[in-house]
Amino acid sequence: MSESHHETKSGPFELIFNNLPVRTVLGLVLMFGGSYVSKNYQEVFEQISHQYGVPVDLGKTVATFGVFLIIFPLVNIFFIKPLADAIGERNSTLEQTFGEAEDLKVQMQKMRSEYEARLVETEADARQKIEAQIKEAQALRQTLMSEAAQRADELVARATQEIEAERNRVLTSIRTQVVDLALSAAEKVIAENMNTERNRKLVEDFISQVEVAR
């Protein structure tokens, strides 16, 4: 059905060129007819040549056309078809190459968009991490500063306490020395002023005030 449709669409020129017997017969007719015309009407052609300055031999031309029609299948087989195949192969290779290039382009664009998205994501992540690190560093700084301040306060308090303790110790030592000196002086004075009567009085006082630890 498709063939008949094809046939109906093709014109007389395609019918001649696609049908080998018709083409061969037509070629033979043209070849012999042309040779006949060339041989029998040569004077007419020479007159035209002299008149217009153009050497024309219509019979030879028609004969050549007939020969062409006869040898067309050979030309087709050995020249046109391989050339058409090569061109088709070349075209398909080019199409494939263009397709691959297109695919690569699409892939590249996809990769680029992915890369850009990833870059954005990485940048955001990096920014977030940097901000987190900054916050952490600030918190650490705050902690260290507060610890340092606390430690400094403690040191100051301890130093104050130690100074106070040392001051008290020195004061106590001085006072104790003063007491010892005063009592040593008192002891000397008492010893120098002690006599039998005073000693007797001391013993009597002891006797009268004796207390027993019982």
Partner 1 sequence: MQDGRVARRYAKALFGAAKGADLVRGVEEDLDIIVKQMKLDPTFKHFILAPYMSREEKAKILTKIFSDRVTSLTMQALRVILDKGREAELEAIFHAYVALRRNDAGIVYATIHSAVLIDEAQKKSLIAALMKSLGKTVEAEFKIDTTLIGGVKVTYENFVLDGSALGAIEKMRERLRYDLLKQV
Structure token pair of residue 112: 């680029």
Q: Does 204 bind partner 1 (CB under 8 A)?
A: yes
Could you write out the DSSP letters of every residue in 42-97? HHHHHHHHHHHS----HHHHHHHHHHHHHHHHHHIIIIIHHHHHHHHHHHHHHHHH
Q: Does 186 bind partner 1 (CB under 8 A)?
A: yes
Q: Count of CB atoms within 10 A of residue 39's CB?
A: 10
Among 80, 126, 149, 171, which residue sits at the site for partner 1 (rule: CB under 8 A)?
Answer: 171
Report, in Å, the least distance between residue 171 CB and partner 1. Answer: 7
Window contacting partner 1 (CB under 8 A); options: 62-70, 88-96, 112-120, 167-175: 167-175
Structure token pair of residue 190: 């008492």
Nearer to partner 1, 2 or 196 (CB): 196
Q: Does 197 bind partner 1 (CB under 8 A)?
A: no
- Cα–Cα distance for residue pair 138/100, rounded to 1 Å: 54
Nearer to partner 1, 152 or 181 (CB): 181
Window contacting partner 1 (CB under 8 A); options: 2-10, 116-124, 127-135, 197-205: 197-205
Give the total of residues touching partner 1 (CB under 8 A).
30
Q: Does 154 bind partner 1 (CB under 8 A)?
A: no
State in Å, rounded, how far the first CA of the chain is from the last one: 152
| Cβ-based neighbours of 34, under 8 Å, separated by 6 or more | 58, 59, 60, 61, 62, 63, 64, 65, 66
Window contacting partner 1 (CB under 8 A); options: 2-10, 72-80, 128-136, 182-190: 182-190
The residues binding partner 1 (CB under 8 A) are 168, 171-172, 175-176, 179-180, 183, 186-187, 190-191, 194, 196, 198-200, 202-214
